[in-house]
């Protein structure tokens, strides 16, 4: 047995040059490639249209392995965040496709977040519906029946069905329809009857010239919380939403419950439900399901942030909801939560995720709203952040759960403190940057500093380069963090870095670390109103296309959502797409992405 790993960054690591996330990434990639010995090699795909059969299944297996090796809750949050950021955007855009696509122009463009990450979520549906034992039986039957054969997604579903003596034919719909399903939830408590009725209704994206899609089978894990913060007895269930709309009734509910829905992200859906901020704060503090506890915090923060975006657009003064401050304080003070869960729960939704919620995106308004909230939370909880930082500053560079938890929480506190731009808090980052012997703390401090518009930034940039200029993988980090900086100087730095002696467009890691990181990971700088960043990236895509069309096609995908932006930026992005499309000799890799983005 062997394995192929296609990037040295997923093999080479030591604490001084690799972060905690790097180590976990290596562990997951090595597991993924090793698992392909069975799901991909010994049992392989009949044709390329079945690619999710091996990739979706193997991503699911490496996610489960990583959850066992680290923390199930943390791993699930990281996986879902990645899915929502990349795949939900793909599902909502012009390149939406099923996990089992029906056609392609360039095979290299087949390796998508939908085929991989959404494919893994569809595999997870089987486990949620069948239970771990039933899923294990089905997987064993699949491997035994088809060892040494090339098969299809239908063969996998049939093996699962036969091993559990169930009809799973409705799951076929997940393989053939694109778009992220929306599930709308509403509940009604009948005090006199002591019952609670939960109504779930699903809808799907309807594509031009396509029939209205049939309802999907959607497992929805739920629980009803009582006033004590625990599940009311007998209310934790996995419901099966099989129709367009269904109502599920819970008996013996003698108090008004707070529903916890889609626990553990039990299906790749968007959940919509009217909730008060008080309910979200209650779930954030009490939900027994750690994923939904984090989810409640993200939903609460998103609601606050979208309100702030609206105020920015209306020219109104911004203000902070003290209830969010109180909710954050409770998380920081909760001794039952480990540092990694605290760090994740105390994070805010990214600008990319916030933009997905807007019908027309103004990146400046989104950035201003999020920046305001970070500063306000930093100021309101300054003493808590400072105490958390100090209490978690003593430790080692060892890569184990306790040390990783400590570092994650400490560095979350540091980000909020540095956002205050006070001499004392900036001094903390400078001191950590200069004294750290491990890359996790070193990178966290540098990343916080390069977001600033202060005198310390240029010195830190020069120090980083002088120290690590001989380590290519670390130098990739140097390029990437500057590319993703929210500093007003970010675009000018990126342009200068594209002419740096150590930047090589022909090096895929280096191209991704600067160009893709900037275009995909720095919304406020990439979407500057004058369109100069669009022109810069389009120029680099055209140059890169002649060297590495696969990487060029990934970078040009940053223009895919152009229709969702305010008219000025939308027109500027469209103009660059048309310029790329009109260039003679453009590769099929880039041409397919651009033509579909333009709707041709």
Show which residues are catalytic: 33
**Residue 42's closest CA among 30, 26, 56, 53?**
53
**Residue 204's closest CA among 122, 121, 269, 266?**
269
Handedness of CA 95, 98, 102, 105 (dihedral sign): positive
CA distance 300 to 373: 12
CA 398 to chain centre: 27
CA distance 83 to 89: 9
DSSP letter at 187?
A: E
CA distance 309 to 349: 13
Handedness of CA 274, 277, 280, 282 (dihedral sign): negative
| 582 class by beta-carbon count within 10 Å (0-12 exposed, 13-18 middle, 19+ buried) | exposed
DSSP letter at 83?
A: I
Instruction: Give the count of beta carbons closer than 10 Å to the beta carbon of residue 466.
Output: 8
CA distance 461 to 478: 8
**Residue 524's closest CA among 563, 569, 557, 480?**
569
DSSP letter at 45?
A: E
Radius of gyration of the chain (CA): 24
CA distance 521 to 506: 21
The token duo for 68 is 């066992």
Q: What are the distances in angstroms from CA 345 to CA 331, 332, 396, 484, 543?
A: 8, 9, 24, 22, 41
Three-state secondary-structure class, residue 283: helix
CA distance 146 to 35: 16
| 435 class by beta-carbon count within 10 Å (0-12 exposed, 13-18 middle, 19+ buried) | exposed
The token duo for 441 is 């703390």
CA distance 186 to 184: 7
Say which residues have a Cβ less than 8 Å from residue 219's Cβ, sequence separation at least 6: 125, 128, 129, 238, 239, 240, 241, 266, 267
DSSP letter at 231?
A: B
Instruction: Give the count of beta carbons closer than 10 Å to the beta carbon of residue 442.
Output: 23
Three-state secondary-structure class, residue 328: helix
**Residue 592's closest CA among 94, 51, 52?**
94
The per-type count for the chain, helices as H runs and strands as E runs, is 28, 9
Say which residues have a Cβ less than 8 Å from residue 556's Cβ, sequence separation at least 6: 537, 538, 541, 577, 580, 590, 593, 594
């Amino acid at each position: 047995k062997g394995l192929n790993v296609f990037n040295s960054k997923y093999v080479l690591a030591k604490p001084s040059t690799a972060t905690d996330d790097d180590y976990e990434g290596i562990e997951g990639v090595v597991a993924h490639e090793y698992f392909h010995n069975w799901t991909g090699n010994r049992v392989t795909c009949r044709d390329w249209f079945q690619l999710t059969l091996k990739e979706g299944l193997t991503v699911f297996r490496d996610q489960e392995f990583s959850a066992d090796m680290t923390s199930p809750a943390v791993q699930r949050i990281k996986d879902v965040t990645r899915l929502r950021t990349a795949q939900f955007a793909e599902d909502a855009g012009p390149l939406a496709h099923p996990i089992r696509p029906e056609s392609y122009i360039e095979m290299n463009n087949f390796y998508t977040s939908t085929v991989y990450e959404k494919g893994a979520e569809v595999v997870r549906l089987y486990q949620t519906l069948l239970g771990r034992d039933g899923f294990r039986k089905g997987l064993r039957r699949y491997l035994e029946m088809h060892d040494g054969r090339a098969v299809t997604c239908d063969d996998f579903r049939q093996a699962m069905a036969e091993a559990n003596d169930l009809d799973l034919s409705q799951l076929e719909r997940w393989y053939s329809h694109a778009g992220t399903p929306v599930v709308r939830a509403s509940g009604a408590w009948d005090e006199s009857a002591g019952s609670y009725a939960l109504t779930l209704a699903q809808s799907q994206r309807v594509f031009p010239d396509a029939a209205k899609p049939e309802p999907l089978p959607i497992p929805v894990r739920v629980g009803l919380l009582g006033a004590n913060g625990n599940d009311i007895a007998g209310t934790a269930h996995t419901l099966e939403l099989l129709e367009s709309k269904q109502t599920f009734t819970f008996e013996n509910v003698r108090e008004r419950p707070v529903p916890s829905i889609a626990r553990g992200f039990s299906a790749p859906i968007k959940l919509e439900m009217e909730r008060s901020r008080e309910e979200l704060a209650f779930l954030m503090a009490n939900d027994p399901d750690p994923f939904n506890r984090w989810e409640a915090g993200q939903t609460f923060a998103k609601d606050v942030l979208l309100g702030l975006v609206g105020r920015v657009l209306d020219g109104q003064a911004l203000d902070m909801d003290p209830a969010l401050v109180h909710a954050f304080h409770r998380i920081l003070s909760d001794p039952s939560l480990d540092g990694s869960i605290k760090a994740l729960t105390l994070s805010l939704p990214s600008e990319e995720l916030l933009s997905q919620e807007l019908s027309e995106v103004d990146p400046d308004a989104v950035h201003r709203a999020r920046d305001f909230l970070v500063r306000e939370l930093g100021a309101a909880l300054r003493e808590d952040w400072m105490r958390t930082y100090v209490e978690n500053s003593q430790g080692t560079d060892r890569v184990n759960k306790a040390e990783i938890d400590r570092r994650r929480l400490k560095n979350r506190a540091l980000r909020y403190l540095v956002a205050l731009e006070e001499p004392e808090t900036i001094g903390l980052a400078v001191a950590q940057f200069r004294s750290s012997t491990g890359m996790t703390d070193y990178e966290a401090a540098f990343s916080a500093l390069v977001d600033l518009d202060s005198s310390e930034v240029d010195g830190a940039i020069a120090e980083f380069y002088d120290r690590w200029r001989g380590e290519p993988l670390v130098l990739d980090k140097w390029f990437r963090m500057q590319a993703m900086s929210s500093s007003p100087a970010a675009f000018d730095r990126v342009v200068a870095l594209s002419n740096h002696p150590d930047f090589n467009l022909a090096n895929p890691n280096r191209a991704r670390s600067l160009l893709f990181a900037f275009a995909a990971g720095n919304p406020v700088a990439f979407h500057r109103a004058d369109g100069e960043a669009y022109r810069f990236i389009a120029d680099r895509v055209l140059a890169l296309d002649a060297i590495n069309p696969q990487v060029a096609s990934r970078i040009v995908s940053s223009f895919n959502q152009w229709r969702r932006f305010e008219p000025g930026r939308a027109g500027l992005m469209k103009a660059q797409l048309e310029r790329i499309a009109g260039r003679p000799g453009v590769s099929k890799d880039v041409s397919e992405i651009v033509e579909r983005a333009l709707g041709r």
